Amino acid sequence: MTEATAIRVVGTAGHVDHGKSTLLTALTGMDPDRLREERERGMTIDLGFAWVTLPGGGDIGFVDVPGHQDFIRNMLAGIGSIDAVLLVVAADEGVMPQTREHLAILGLLGIDRGVIALTKRDLVDDEWAALASSDVRGALRGTALADAPLVEVSATARRGLDELLLALERVLGEAPVRRDVGRPRLPVDRSFTMSGFGTVVTGTLLDGSLAVGDEIAAVPGDIRGRIRGLQTHRRSLEVARPGSRVAANLSGIDKEAVTRGMVVARPGSLETTTVLAVRLALLASASTALEHDEEVKVHLGTAETMARVALLERSQLAPGETAWAQLRLATPVAVAVGDRLVIRRPSPSETIGGGTVADLAVARLRRRPETVEALERRVAPSAASRLLASLDVPRTVAEAAERSGLAPSEGATAAAGILADGRAVPLGDAVVSRDAFEAFATHVERICAQAHRKTPLRAGASREEARSALGLPAKRFNALVERLVA
């Protein structure tokens, strides 16, 4: 077995029947439609997978997504963790409704690299192909894919396939290396059993490496097990790197216990929550404004759940506007700061917007200027400012870095800076912002004064009374007291 370098992942996008799966079969020799119903209907319903070796060496993996509007939920489960998109538009039809919806979703998810395949080129003459190409360029205007290369192809005639692979190779060569922050997580897009092996889950590995023998937990649910085996493109591995498509054979976990939408991670390394603070953008194409407390469907990674939207700056968000919001989810999700999400109206089904997770909030936020100011600090350009915003309560540097969406090394550097300049205060193994420390000190004085007024013979509040009022764990409270009396 080997240790693999990260393999780039490309996702398809485009309208139904524009030839996404047929094109992948021509490129890879593999049929990504794995379900009998898909083959009988001639239409992709769920996610499909294939891979190919590039002309310059190295593999790329493909995630094939359904183009029909009825299966957008499956498209969203597969498209979020890709390095680039292969946007497929049929030359005989041009840009269609799902082309536009998929483009909007790509923008919401921050997918800004890709190649356009103008398929079925053998079915139209040069003049029609030129019109279709112009139609595509018009649809891409103003998007991150406006300057993406466009390659005319025919899967049946095997025309343009080499040029398409070269274009993908060039685009992927410019893509940034997937970050490794030592917190691996595998959002599950498939779960199945194999005779003699047991439970297997697949997904695109993010934020760190996984190795055979690692103890893992499937979350939400904290279902514990171990990695029995790893594969990428049917090759067995000892270690899988971030960015790769991975199949993980899990021991100690039943197939029924792990489903799409869950995340495989190291135990205790990933938070689950039902409350998210997000910077929310409503698409200009949304049919109506988003109302405060409106119910929407949230797609995050491979998960989906219903949620209520609490708008924090106004009572209504108009198409094309952006504002802070809190999403109150119907079911828990495993999430990290910086993750992107998409929101849809459940009926009639419509993709209306999306956003970026800024905080895994536990308390309900109120529509106040200070709420917005605090959230703005969480997305500040400076790593030190973002770390400081997470130190509103005592946390270890590692905890604060994770909550700020920073790599451990970034967090350590930022912490050293804010401790040196006095913007943060050490409390044992934890750190707290200077402002929060002073607020805690004032609160302790107030608690003691109130206790003394209530019972004049007492000098103040008991240690436990003060700790409980502040809501701090004993270890952190004791460190605070030691600092106050030092």
Whether 457 has a pLDDT exceeding 70, the answer reads: no
User: pLDDT above 90 covers what percent of the chain?
Assistant: 62
Q: What is the mean pLDDT of residues 260-285?
A: 94
User: Exposed e or buried b for every residue in 163-191, given b needs 16+ CB within 10 A?
Assistant: ebbbbbbebbeeeeebebbebbbbbbbbb
User: pLDDT above 70 covers what percent of the chain?
Assistant: 93
Whether 1 has a pLDDT exceeding 50, the answer reads: no
Task: Determine how many CB atoms are found less than 10 A away from the CB of residue 192.
Answer: 10
How far the first Cα of the chain sits from its last, in Å, is 56
d(CA 349, CA 282): 15
Can you give the pLDDT at residue 360?
A: 86
Mean confidence (pLDDT) of the chain: 89
The per-residue DSSP string of 207-268 comes to: SS-EETT-EEEEETTTEEEEEEEEEETTEEEEEE-TTSEEEEEEES--GGG--TT-EEESTT
Length of the chain: 486
Q: What is the pLDDT of residues 402-443, one digit of tens each?
A: 888 888 999 999 999 999 999 999 988 999 999 988 888 888
Please report how the helices 161-173 and 20-28 are oriented relative to each other, as an axis angle in degrees rounded to 10.
90
Contact between residue 20 and residue 74 where contact means Cβ atoms under 8 Å apart = no
Can you give the pLDDT at residue 486?
A: 65
Q: What are phi and psi of 447, to 5 degrees?
A: -60, -45
Structural domains of the chain sorted by starting position, each given as residue range(s) with its CATH number in brackets: 2-173 (3.40.50.300), 185-265 (2.40.30.10), 272-370 (2.40.30.10), 382-486 (1.10.10)
Whether 44 has a pLDDT exceeding 80, the answer reads: no
Can you give the pLDDT at residue 442?
A: 84
Can you give the pLDDT at residue 19?
A: 85
Can you give the pLDDT at residue 37?
A: 60
Q: Say whether pTM exceeds 0.95.
A: no
Confidence of residue 354 (pLDDT cuts 50, 70, 90): very high
Helix (H) or strand (E) holding 478: helix 474-485
Confidence of residue 460 (pLDDT cuts 50, 70, 90): low
Of residues 305 and 81, more confidence is placed in: 305
The per-residue DSSP string of 418-457 comes to: HHHTTSEEEETTEEEEHHHHHHHHHHHHHHHHHHHHHSTT
Q: What are phi and psi of 161, to 5 degrees?
A: -70, -40
Determine how β-strand 8-13 pairs with β-strand 59-64.
Answer: parallel
Of residues 341 and 380, more confidence is placed in: 341
Q: What is the mean pLDDT of residues 71-80?
A: 83
